[in-house]
Amino acid sequence: MFVNHTITALTSMIAHLVVPIPLLATLDPENSPIVLSGVLLSLVVIYLASKLGAEAARNFNFPPVLGELVAGVIVGVSALHLIVFPEGGLSASDSGIMSVLQSINHLSPVALTSIFESQSEVISVLAELGVIILLFEIGLESDIRQLKEVGVQAVVVACVGVAVPFAAGTAGLMMLFHTPAIPAIFAGAALTATSIGITSKVLSELGQLKSKEGQIIVGAAVIDDVLGIIVLAVVASLAKTGEIDVVNAIYLIVSATAFLLGSILLGGIFNKTFSAVVDTLKTRGNIVIPAFIFAFFMAFLGNAIHLEAILGAFAAGLVLDESDARNELDELVKPIADIIVPIFFVTVGARADLGVLNPAVPDNRAGLLIAAFLIVVAIIGKLVTGWVVFGQPGINRLAIGVGMIPRGEVGLVFAGIGSASGVLDKPLEVSIIIMVIITTFLAPPFLRIAFGDSVEPPATEESSKVI
């Protein structure tokens, strides 16, 4: 009996263990056309959403990217459930696209899970390649000379824009909401980093990327991103060990500075090499392939030294902007950006769970109060940065402050890590997510208003069109 029991118990354990194994079915060649089907259908939905959203936003005189974000929310986890990701407890049965595949192919639940995960992984990486190519394009559109000119301003804006929301957020949470120190520091840190992707896309759409204000915002957003990563590393180690990892913080500061300055300095030499290489190549893709080799390699480097891939891509764009092939390259990168960048914005919207705004859920109610406080700090803390700019008479200070407002994906990374490490309780996590959603969605229309007088709508429309 005992033997039988043991064997039965073990067999049932095995059966239990066996269930997740067919995840190896990822490799099952029979499933690979279905993964492809899922990716194709997801891309069709993403493209449809992005175009409908962008056109609708434009008709209401909002920046198109806001429409893409909102369209993403509609097709995403908050509404239609077409584009969802296996996070926050969602499974294949929550995905509209998976239901379609299921009804066509009659898949087992296990195969469906495996296909859902593979497809989500592919769409996630495509979205990341999208923001990498966006930042590469922004780098190409930026003017390195003008960036150098406003460099000091950008550094000041970035530092104030990190210090003020961090200090005000942490202190406010501790005093007003009696949050313990470490969670308060973590939430304060989540208020620091500007979303360079959203801000720069809106600037580009408004035709303001090359303006003095635009270049200060982009420069400050880049520095902000670096500062945000350093702050994250510091508070994460503080949360994990209770101590600040000074060595790692110094490593990040040094490597980020060396990476950005080094790539710009070396760029002066490299863009000559690039032009020479392009001239010797005779087969198709002679300009665009070397450019992408450089951009992706720099993005890899940025990732490898624990900075961000988008910083590498931005630096690559800045460098190639100096090369002779610049104008041709601009034209070639546009259609590539047009088909891959929307994947990023739509999935940002699709991942934003507006369910956290529902006051019927108790955790949300506590979160909504804290969120209201964080949003005020997030907006005012960045708005003030416009007024620390000096020596630039007649500059649009409001526009600079507004440009720094959107927190986007960086804030979500904070919330995710804070929640995974147990530092943030549910209400605080929810409030950070709400803060990110609100600042992200408010910034594009605000930026449009802040630039109001100086923007010529018809010219903008034309210049932002491909043709």
Q: Is 27 in the site for a copy of itself (CB under 8 A)?
A: yes
Closest approach of Cβ 384 to a copy of itself, in Å?
32
Of 146 and 237, nearer to a copy of itself (C-beta) is: 237
In sequence order, what are the residues at sequence separation of 6 or more whose Cβ sits closer than 8 angstroms to the Cβ of residue 351? 72, 76, 77, 85, 87, 412
Q: Which stretch binds a copy of itself (CB under 8 A): 20-28, 71-79, 157-165, 361-369?
A: 20-28
Q: Does 87 bind a copy of itself (CB under 8 A)?
A: yes
User: What is the nearest approach in angstroms of a copy of itself to the Cβ of residue 145?
Assistant: 26
Phi-psi region of 271 (alpha: psi -120 to 50; beta: other; left: phi over 0): alpha
- Nearer to a copy of itself among residue 333 and residue 383 (C-beta): 333
Check: CB of residue 411 under 8 Å from CB of residue 435.
yes
If binding is defined by CB under 8 A, does position 74 make contact with a copy of itself?
no
Indicate whether 11 belongs to the interface with a copy of itself (CB under 8 A): yes
- Closer CB to a copy of itself, residue 261 or residue 293? 293
- In the region spanning residues 96 to 115, those forming contacts with a copy of itself, defined by CB under 8 A, are 104
Under the binding rule (CB under 8 A), the answer on residue 264 touching a copy of itself is no
Instruction: Give the range of 42-50, 151-159, 266-274, 373-381 binding a copy of itself by CB under 8 A.
Output: 42-50
Q: Is 36 in the site for a copy of itself (CB under 8 A)?
A: yes
Q: Which is nearer to a copy of itself, 73 or 97 (CB)?
A: 97
Residue 335 interacts with a copy of itself (CB under 8 A)?
yes
Q: In the set 89, 242, 282, 393, which binds a copy of itself (CB under 8 A)?
A: 282
Task: Count CB atoms within 10 A of the CB of residue 338.
Answer: 14
Shortest distance (Å) from residue 349 CB to a copy of itself: 16
Residue 350: what residue type?
Answer: A
Could you report how far apart the first and last alpha carbons of the chain are, in Å?
Answer: 79
Q: Which residue has the tokens 């803390």?
A: 381
Q: Which CA distances in Å does 64 have to 55, 178, 334, 351, 354? A: 7, 41, 16, 19, 21
Among 146, 255, 275, 286, binds a copy of itself (CB under 8 A): 286
